[in-house]
Chains A and B, each alone.
Chain A
Amino acid sequence: MIPEIGHFALVLALVVAVVQSIFPMIGAATNNAQWIAMAKPTARAQFVLLAVSFACLMAAFLESDFSVLYVANNSNTLMPTIYKVSAVWGAHEGSLLLWVLILSVWAWLVSVFSKGISPVMLARVLSVMGMIGVGFLLFMLLTSNPFERQFPIPLQGRTLNPLLQDPGLAIHPPMLYMGYVGFSVAFAFAIAAMLGGKLDAAWARWARPWTNVAWVFLTIGIALGSWWAYYELGWGGWWFWDPVENASLMPWLVGTALIHSLAVAEKRAAFKSWTILLAIFAFSLSLLGTFLVRSGVLTSVHAFASDPERGLFILIFLVLVVGSSLVLYAIRAPKLRSTGTFTVISREMGLLVNNVALIAMTATVLLGTLYPLFIDALGLGKISVGPPYFNTISIPLGLVLFSAMGFGLFLRWKKDTKERVFSKVRWVLLFALLIGFLVPILFMTHFDWKAALGVALASWVSLTALLWVQEQGRSPFKLPLSMWGAAIAHIGMAVTVAGISLTSAYSTEKDVRLERGQEYQMSGYSFLFNGVKEVKGPNYIAQQGEVVVTRDGLNVTTLRPEKRNYGPGTMPMTEAGIDGGLLRDLFIALGEPLGKDAWSVRLYHKPVVSWIWIGSALMGLGGLLAAFDKRYRRVRRRIIEPKVANQPEIGEASTKAGEAIA
């Protein structure tokens, strides 16, 4: 019964989504107030229906209702409750349901926090989000219904892919989806602005906090994924340039560019059509990511068994969304004239450099990700693009980007002089270069110029951010949140860059054969292997090794890496033993038994690897602070008061629409 309610709610949600996408849009074009007013209730109804549907699927998982095919394939009675819950989005059908649920959450949030937005604009925004919902709901109902029943009913289900039975992974997909789908808000705002033919500072002020929050979720989602890959996959790496990782990085890069170009659109009324284009690309790349993961065209950790029909559906949907929004852009973008002007040395130029560098990075990653697919589709062979490709291109681009980050904060809008900016930052520049050279010489085993460069850039970016906050000449507690946000996000980026460059240059990684009682020396640490014993977990059996780590005769820690087996039909899992710290991680993973009490063991010493994720957390915090700046709320209040102000806008929009039709 419960699965049927869920299924029924899903069908109803589709119907509501159709209404939500058609009527408010037509209403906005014909100035029909009643139809315009349908946007809010339909968006909220859709959220309620999808929440019901999602709750039904979750109930089926908690009750272990194996008559539902999807439940039987991804859950069993032995799994701990938290993984029964996370199994809801552990595979294709459920993760799609999560996708549309999150879409409706965003639409609901827009409908609630929309007080300053004109009803016409709101109608268009929610209608566009409704259209996206229609696409995904149709996709689910036609090709991947999570509520499909099966007969006969099995007594026990299969198990969730053990890789996903991990707390990090339980929250990684929802975070990532909040980010991916969050860009649909910016996208819908962009489409609405084009339809209305008007993109002003108020528009940018509405779009900015939404974009920021989506970006924060995406940042955290990517960081969680990378962290999980580090401790769960047992390879000790944190980024593999895996196509699916790239698929999440591309919207992040474009989203970062969008956040910065929105600032220009708000403050200086420039970059308008460019901003619209970025909003379209950010969401299109999120859809592309969904397509790449779900269609199974990629060989990747994330590519679950798949079905070509699904891939085709998403591909058609992707082409429709990108195609129609670009056509609209071609027709309407010339109307969005940028009026702000600027000179070569100005903050606008700094942000332009930021945008160009980020877009160039995105293009590089896109090419490296899709090129093998094209070559394969053309029948020219099967290739893979190695990490060195991505590294060779991103390092010079990163250099440009991070240099600009420091100067950018000090540049004035519209017009500035080299001398003024340089006089402010010259000591910081010198100091940053000094730190870059001294850190590898003083604290590391040898000098590595890439690490020196990375540290210098990181110090440059973080010191300029600090100096900038101090320069404002106000008490730090009275500064607007958006300033704190910018400074903290820049410092976060710097921390991540420092972590990346130092850990890439100075990590020691050894695969060794160790017998019980054998000791191995590496990076000043001594690892004593005490053999392996069997341990029982709730739904797995593990081989648990014991390694005592000492340094200069002093006990450091005892690590217990595991090799887990989740029963027949699943793959063994490597659970690494990690001694984490601010300055270094010790990472030990068990390989396989080699006979005679010997095991292959992977020993890593990774300096400051944790900075990569600490930096990401700081970036997330910065983005969040900026999104909750008082400025955005104050504007809303100011606009509500003169209620009449909304009326002419409806008239104006409709005359514009009338002109367009004429």
Chain B
Amino acid sequence: MVFDGDGVIFNAIRTHRFEDSTPALDQKYSATEASEKRELIPMKARNKRIIFILLGLCAVGAASAMITKAMQSNLAYLYAPESVMAGEVPKDRVVRLGGLVKKGSLQRSDTTLDLSFILTDNRGHEVTINYDKILPDLFKEEQSAVVKGRFDANNRFMAEEVLAKHDAEYMPPEVEDVLAKEHSYPGKLKKTTEAIEK
């Protein structure tokens, strides 16, 4: 889609700017610029097109590099408690953990908002979450929740954000998937699942 759009725009520039306005450019520009332009003027239409395609590719390349960089630092993968226990979760970046809130695990401080609860998959894998803000309305024990945050130096998970499902009857599909017993989660996680099942 981006490519199509660029193509059209560059087409527009090509036809309008160069075919019709080169005499004007010659008069306007200083001598050095004009000499550059003179090289451009006798150029065949095909060559101009190639130059614009190259320029377009450069622009798209630069944009992709920028986007990839922005993406890399802002992507948060979703992990199940199982993969936390298997030590597969990177410690140095923001991740998301999904699971069910264990019954009776919510503990609050008496003086501040600090609290902790346990995320479980009901198959014995558990991870403790620490949080110091207001829990969402739908946060309940024995219901699904997704937390976003990172592990600190002492290997405690500090959540920046807790999301509970949005609807009383509805479980986020991704949590459902991550918790599903026979999930089709590829790569490392699948291997560990198999290993544990064996």
**In this assembly, does B167 line the interface, its C-beta being within 8 Å of a C-beta of chain A?**
yes
Contact A360 B63 (CB under 8 A): yes
The residues of B that contact A591 with a CB separation of less than 8 Å are: 113, 134-135
Q: Smallest distance from the beta carbon of B120 to chain A beta carbons, Å?
A: 18
Note all chain B residues with C-beta closer than 8 A to A348.
16
* A637 contacts across to B, CB distance below 8 A: none
Cβ of A660 under 8 Å from chain B? no
CB of A8 within 8 Å of the partner chain: no
Number of chain A residues whose Cβ lies closer than 8 Å to a Cβ of chain B: 64
Q: Report the minimum CB–CB distance from A372 to chain B (whole Å).
A: 8
B1 CB within 8 Å of chain A: yes
CA distance A591 to B112 in the complex (A): 13
Chain B residues with Cβ below 8 Å from A379 are 184-186
Binds A, one of B40-48, B75-83, B121-129: B75-83
1/0 per residue, CB under 8 A from A, across B73-112: the answer is 1111110000000000000001010000000000010011
Bound CA span A569–B138, Å:
12
Among the interface residues A304, A344, A415, A569, which one has the most CB atoms of the partner chain B within 10 A? Answer: A344
* Measured CA separation A270–B19 after assembly (Å): 14
Asked if B133 is an interface residue, CB under 8 A from chain A, the answer is yes
Q: Is the CB of B178 within 8 A of A571?
A: no
CA distance A182 to B134 in the complex (A): 40
User: Among A367, A415, A511, A574, which residue has its beta carbon within 8 angstroms of that of B137?
Assistant: A574
Chain A at the B interface: SS class: mixed
Asked if B134 and A299 make an inter-chain contact with CB atoms under 8 angstroms apart, the answer reads: no
Query: Within the assembled complex, what's the spacing in Å between the Cα atoms of A342 and B138?
Result: 58
* Contact partner, B8, options A274, A343, A363, A383, Cβ 8 Å: A274
CB distance from B175 to the nearest CB of A (A): 8
Contact of A296 with B by CB under 8 A: yes
* A367 to B2 alpha-carbon distance, docked (Å): 11
Whole-angstrom CA separation of A388 from B11 in the bound complex: 34
Evaluate contact between A393 and B66: CB separation under 8 angstroms.
yes
B74 touches A388 (CB 8 A): yes
For A389, give the chain B residue with the smallest CB separation: B74
Instruction: Tell me whether A359 is interfacial, beta carbon within 8 Å.
Output: yes
Contact assessment for B167 and A161 in the assembled complex, using a CB-CB cutoff below 8 Å = yes
C-beta contact mask, A336-355 vs B, less than 8 Å → 1, else 0?
A: 00101111100010001001
A161 to chain B, nearest CB (A): 7
Which chain B positions have C-beta within 8 A of A367?
A: 67
**B1, A366: Cβ atoms under 8 Å?**
yes
* Interface pair B17/A344, CB less than 8 Å apart: yes
Return B158 CB to nearest CB of chain A, in Å.
15
B110-164: which residues lie under 8 A (CB-CB) from chain A?
111-113, 132-135, 137-138, 148
Question: B13 interface residue, CB < 8 Å from A?
Answer: yes
A594 and B96 form a contact (CB under 8 A)? no
Q: In the complex where A274-B8, A352-B9 touch, is A571 in contact with B67 (Cβ < 8 A)?
A: no
List chain A residues, Cβ under 8 A from B19. 341
**Which among B96, B113, B186 is the interface contact of A511 at CB below 8 angstroms?**
B113
> Once the chains are docked, how many angstroms separate the CA of A393 from the CA of B73?
13
B169 within 8 A of A: yes
Q: Convert B1-15 into 0s and 1s, putting 1 for each residue whose CB lies closer than 8 angstroms to a CB of A.
A: 110110011011101
Q: Find out whether the CB atom of A384 lies under 8 angstroms from the CB atom of B76.
A: yes
Q: Are A385 and B134 in contact (CB under 8 A)?
A: no
- Judging by beta carbons under 8 Å apart, are B137 and A343 in contact? no
B93 → chain A, closest Cβ, in Å? 11
Q: Is the CB of A389 within 8 A of B113?
A: no
Q: Which residues of B contact A366 (CB under 8 A)?
A: 1
Nearest neighbor of A569 in chain B, beta-carbon distance: B168
* Nearest residue, chain B, Cβ from A565: B137
Chain A nearest CB, measured from B192 CB (Å) = 14
Contact A385 B71 (CB under 8 A): yes
The reply to whether A338 and B113 contact each other, CB–CB distance below 8 Å, is no
B-contact bits for A153-177, CB 8 A (1 contact / 0 none)? 0000000010000000000000000
Q: Which of B8, B137, B148 contacts A573 (CB 8 A)?
A: B137
Q: Is the Cβ of B1 less than 8 Å from the Cβ of A341?
A: no
The distance from the CB of A436 to the nearest CB of chain B, in whole angstroms, is 25
Q: Is the CB of B12 within 8 A of A301?
A: no
Give chain A nearest CB distance to B92 CB in angstroms: 16
Give the docked Cα–Cα distance between A296 and B108 (Å).
35
Using an 8 Å CB-CB cutoff, how does the interface string of A569-587 with B read, 1 for contact, 0 for none? 1111110000000000000
B21 contacts the other chain (CB 8 A): yes
Q: Which A residues are in CB contact (< 8 Å) with B70?
A: 388-389, 392-393
- A342-B16, A342-B17 known, 16 other contacts, Cβ within 8 Å: A300-B166, A305-B169, A343-B17, A343-B25, A383-B77, A384-B96, A385-B71, A386-B94, A387-B74, A388-B70, A393-B67, A511-B133, A513-B111, A589-B134, A600-B113, A602-B134
Q: 10 tightest A-B contacts by CB?
A: A591-B134, A341-B20, A382-B78, A389-B74, A386-B74, A511-B133, A392-B70, A299-B172, A343-B21, A274-B8
19 sample A-B contacts, Cβ–Cβ < 8 Å, listed by A number: A234-B137, A270-B12, A338-B12, A338-B15, A343-B21, A343-B24, A364-B67, A368-B71, A371-B71, A380-B186, A384-B78, A385-B74, A386-B75, A415-B21, A511-B132, A512-B113, A513-B113, A571-B166, A572-B138
